[in-house]
Amino acid sequence: MVTTDARRGTARRVRRRAVVRPTTVPEPAEEPAVEETVVDETVEDDKTTADDEPTEDAIEPAGPGRRARLLAWALLLVLAAVLVAGGLLGRHWYDQRQLADARSQALAAARQTCVNFVSISASTVDADLKRIAAGATGQFKDEFTQDTAQVKAAVVQNKVDSHGTVLRAGIVSADRRSAVVLVAVDATVKNSSAPDGRLSHYRIQVNMARDTASGRWLVAQLQFVG
């Protein structure tokens, strides 16, 4: 026979099996937090406010009057540029013209001076020496004037009769107040030793200086170079 205690134990086991144990359900993993980005849909209009916009009163209409004034200013600028350029060109032309005239005058004076210097005769010695001195200046004039008496005596004593002509002449250097000129001269010289005359060739360098008072080109230095 089944005892009462055995029946009670069996009943307890049946009840425990009949109890449904809750199943542990894993909690879902937390989703990563998404940072919410706030988009500012306000569009800046080049940071320009209504206060910065020019008013209609500040804007001058591009009418005929304004265009006429702009055209006048443009013409004035062009005219000023033309006047400045013309002045510079005119000044340059004037300077070049003055220099060309100075060179021409210095060259002509040097040629004549060299002819005078080798053209001297016993019969006209006083006038010849005076002409040479009149075309001289500075140290050269002083030295020539001091030697005039000796030169005259030698010309008269040797019965000199010399006449020269310029073969060629050229400017070595020049500005508006001074010039260096090289002159080639031929001279036919007669004297007591050569009554029939003989031909002599000279190369003379003359330093010319422009006299500020008269504007004449005078010889400041003369030397034979060949």
The half-sphere exposure of 129 on its side-chain side, counting CA atoms within 13 A, is: 19
d(CA 129, CA 144): 9
Q: What is the mean pLDDT of the chain?
A: 78
With 90 as the cut, is the pLDDT of residue 81 above it?
Answer: no
Task: With CA atoms as reference, report the closest residue to 161 among 132, 122, 187.
Answer: 122
d(CA 188, CA 102): 31
Integer angstrom CA distances of residue 130 from 116, 135, 136, 152: 10, 9, 10, 11
pLDDT digits (tens, 9 = 90+) for 37-65: 444 444 444 444 445 554 544 444 556 67
User: Per-residue DSSP letters for 105-153?
Assistant: HHHHHHHHHHHHHH-EEGGGHHHHHHHHHHTB-HHHHHHHHHTHHHHHH
d(CA 183, CA 107): 9
pLDDT digits (tens, 9 = 90+) for 108-121: 999 999 999 999 99
**What tokens were used for 184?**
């080639």
Lowest mean pLDDT among 91-95, 137-141, 195-199: 91-95
Integer angstrom CA distances of residue 160 from 118, 152, 188: 11, 10, 11
The pLDDT, as a whole number, for residue 70 is: 76
Q: What are phi and psi of 189, to 5 degrees?
A: -115, 125
In the chain, the domains with their CATH numbers are 90-224 (3.10.450.50)
> How would residue 142 be classed by pLDDT, with cut points 50, 70 and 90?
very high
The pLDDT, as a whole number, for residue 23 is: 47
Task: With CA atoms as reference, report the closest residue to 170 among 224, 115, 108, 116.
Answer: 108
pLDDT digits (tens, 9 = 90+) for 59-69: 445 566 777 77
Instruction: Give the orientation angle of helix 125-134 with respect to helix 138-146, to 10 degrees.
Output: 160
The pLDDT, as a whole number, for residue 34 is: 45
Report, as an integer, the average pLDDT of 188-213.
Answer: 92
> How would residue 93 be classed by pLDDT, with cut points 50, 70 and 90?
low
Quote the percentage of the chain above a pLDDT of 90.
50
| Between 112 and 16, residue with greater pLDDT | 112
d(CA 66, CA 117): 76
pLDDT digits (tens, 9 = 90+) for 164-185: 999 999 999 999 999 999 999 9
| Between 113 and 4, residue with greater pLDDT | 113
